[in-house]
């Protein structure tokens, strides 16, 4: 069971990062140049469209993680798409792709599809290519689709709980929200989904954003020795979700990031660091968080605001993570570099 769960989360992590990185790297940069070179709008649109392919990529990468055949892997990708809720039908009868779907339900559907194709095995023989894709739509795909409303409700309940926190004193609110989002970004639950459900904005959004920054920078530093530089940077430029598998197997590995998130959340309340529901889910990816803070900060691009931005989004999370990683790895011996090892083979 542990091996099954580990392979599932590893496949999900890769699918999430691969689909989100193009927009994360190019999104904000393209927006700066589009007014001067409008054809770049097409590139931006394509990266947004690729994000909506996340469910298919999760399904395919999960199939690869379990070393399934090509037909089985493709069928899991189809089933994951069905259960994700990303495909919606408009009043005009047109089909649209809405966001990235419900990530946790995509993972559940992919897991059901793996169990299903393993159960079917070689029973279909030469008819696999004809029947397996259809059966994966009808059985695990539709099972995931039926679960979708309940998973959406779960996201809504989490959102309501966070919404109640926003009524607290700003510094205390910032601490709690930053820690919560630091944990959510390491789970199959969508941070953007939670933030948009309650329209999380203002200081609450800024604190959530810094919680994700704490996770991304901390995991990048912690995983550098065990992985390549590119993989380490993917935690910041892509998504900390890449560590989902390791987090669920060894939750203690994120204690330094949680403490860092708490400090940054308090600073968000004290310094009035604000954001939007969109920036609350992205952290440093594509510079969405810092750009939104500068756009909303009083006075705009002043030297004071630039100093606050660089300090809270980069310098302080870096220094705090280095310090707490040293304490928990060298002094307390609770974590080690291999705990953050990622296997993409």
How does pLDDT run across 39-65, given as a tens digit for each residue?
A: 999 998 998 888 889 999 999 999 999
* Spatial distance between the Cα atoms of 63 and 84, rounded to a whole number of angstroms: 16
Tokens read off for 305: 């605001």
Identify the pLDDT of residue 110.
Answer: 95
Query: Could you tell me which of 108, 176, 120 has the C-alpha nearest to residue 147?
Result: 108
Q: What is the pTM of this model?
A: 0.80
Identify the pLDDT of residue 344.
Answer: 66
Identify the pLDDT of residue 90.
Answer: 78
How does pLDDT run across 214-270, given as a tens digit for each residue?
A: 999 999 999 888 888 888 888 887 788 888 888 988 999 999 999 999 999 999 999
Cβ burial of 298 (10 Å; 0-12, 13-18, 19+) is: exposed
How does pLDDT run across 279-316, given as a tens digit for each residue?
A: 777 778 777 788 888 888 888 889 999 999 999 999 99
Backbone phi and psi for residue 144, each to the nearest 5 degrees, phi listed first: -65, -40
| Predicted confidence band of residue 30 (pLDDT cuts 50, 70, 90) | confident
How does pLDDT run across 181-225, given as a tens digit for each residue?
A: 999 999 888 777 777 767 777 888 899 999 999 999 999 999 888
Q: Helix/strand/coil (H, E, C) string of the chain? A: CHHHHHHHHHHHHHHHHHHHHHHHHHHHHHHHHCCCCCCHHHHHHHHHHHHCCHHHHHHHHHHHHCCCCHHHHHHHHHHHHHHHCCEEECCCCCEEECCCCCHHHHHHHHHHHHHHHHHHCCCCHHHHHHHHHHHHHHHHHHHHHHHHHHHHHHHHHHHHHHHHHCCCCHHHHHHHHHHHHHHHCCCCCCHHHHHHHCCCCHHHHHHHHHHHHHHHHHHHHHHCCCCCHHHHHHHHHCCHHHHHHHHHHCHHHHHHHHHHHHHHHHHHHHHCCCECCCHHHCCCHHHHHHHHHHHHCCCCCCHHHHHHHHHHHHHHHHHHHHHHHHHHHHHCCCCCHHHHCCCCC
Q: What is the mean pLDDT of residues 153-176?
A: 80
Q: What is the mean pLDDT of residues 154-181?
A: 83
* Spatial distance between the Cα atoms of 255 and 154, rounded to a whole number of angstroms: 25
How does pLDDT run across 3-25, given as a tens digit for each residue?
A: 898 888 888 888 888 888 888 77
Identify the pLDDT of residue 61.
Answer: 93
Inform me whether the pLDDT recorded for 278 exceeds 70: no
Would you mind telling me the total number of residues written for the chain in this entry?
A: 345
Cβ burial of 215 (10 Å; 0-12, 13-18, 19+) is: buried
Q: Share the mean pLDDT of the chain.
A: 87
Residue 135: count of CB within 10 angstroms of its CB: 19
Identify the pLDDT of residue 218.
Answer: 94
How does pLDDT run across 300-310, given as a tens digit for each residue?
A: 889 999 999 99
Q: At what angle do helices 70-84 and 103-120 cross, to 10 degrees?
A: 140
Backbone phi and psi for residue 282, each to the nearest 5 degrees, phi listed first: -120, -20
| Predicted confidence band of residue 31 (pLDDT cuts 50, 70, 90) | confident
Burial 27-43 (b: 16+ CB within 10 A, else e): bbebeeeeeeeeebeee
How does pLDDT run across 74-96, given as a tens digit for each residue?
A: 999 999 999 998 888 877 777 88
Q: Are the C-beta atoms of residues 305 and 299 closer than 8 Å to each other?
A: yes
Identify the pLDDT of residue 310.
Answer: 94
Task: List, in sequence order, every residue forming a beta bridge with 96; answer none if it has no partner.
Answer: 88
Query: Could you tell me which of 154, 220, 211, 218 has the C-alpha nearest to residue 181?
Result: 211
Query: Could you tell me which of 2, 5, 1, 4 has the C-alpha nearest to residue 244?
Result: 5
* Spatial distance between the Cα atoms of 293 and 304, rounded to a whole number of angstroms: 13
Residue 263: count of CB within 10 angstroms of its CB: 19
Tokens read off for 310: 């660089």
Identify the pLDDT of residue 108.
Answer: 92
* Spatial distance between the Cα atoms of 77 and 110, rounded to a whole number of angstroms: 7
* Spatial distance between the Cα atoms of 207 and 262, rounded to a whole number of angstroms: 9
Identify the pLDDT of residue 323.
Answer: 96
């Amino acid at each position: 069971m542990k091996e099954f769960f580990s392979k599932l989360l590893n496949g999900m992590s890769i699918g999430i990062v691969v689909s989100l990185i193009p927009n994360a790297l190019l999104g904000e940069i393209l927006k700066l140049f589009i007014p001067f070179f409008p054809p770049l709008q097409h590139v931006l649109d394509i990266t947004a469209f690729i994000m909506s392919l996340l469910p298919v990529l999760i399904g395919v990468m999960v199939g690869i993680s379990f070393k399934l055949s090509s037909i089985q892997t493709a069928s899991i990708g189809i089933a994951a798409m069905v259960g994700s809720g990303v495909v919606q039908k408009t009043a005009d009868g047109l089909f649209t792709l809405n966001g990235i779907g419900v990530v946790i339900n995509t993972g559940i559907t992919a897991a059901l599809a793996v169990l299903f194709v393993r159960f079917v095995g070689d029973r279909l023989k030469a008819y696999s290519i004809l029947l397996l894709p259809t059966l994966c739509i009808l059985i695990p795909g539709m099972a995931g689709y039926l679960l979708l409303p309940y998973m959406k409700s779960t996201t809504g309940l989490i959102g309501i709980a966070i919404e109640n926190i926003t009524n607290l004193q700003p510094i205390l609110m910032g601490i709690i929200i930053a820690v919560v989002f630091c944990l959510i970004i390491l789970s199959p639950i969508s941070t953007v989904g939670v933030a948009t459900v309650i329209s999380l904005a203002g200081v609450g959004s800024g604190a959530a954003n810094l919680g994700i920054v704490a996770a991304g920078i901390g995991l990048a530093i912690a995983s550098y020795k065990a992985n390549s530089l590119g993989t380490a940077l993917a935690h910041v430029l892509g998504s900390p979700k890449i560590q989902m598998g390791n987090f669920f197997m060894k939750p203690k590995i994120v204690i330094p990031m949680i403490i860092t998130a708490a400090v940054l959340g308090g600073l968000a309340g004290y310094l009035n660091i604000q954001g939007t529901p969109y920036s609350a889910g992205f952290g440093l990816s594509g510079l969405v968080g810092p750009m939104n803070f500068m756009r909303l900060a009083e006075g705009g691009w002043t030297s004071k605001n630039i100093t606050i931005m660089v300090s809270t989004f980069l310098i302080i999370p870096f220094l705090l993570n280095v310090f707490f990683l040293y304490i928990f790895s060298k002094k307390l011996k609770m974590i080690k570099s291999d705990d953050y090892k990622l296997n993409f083979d």
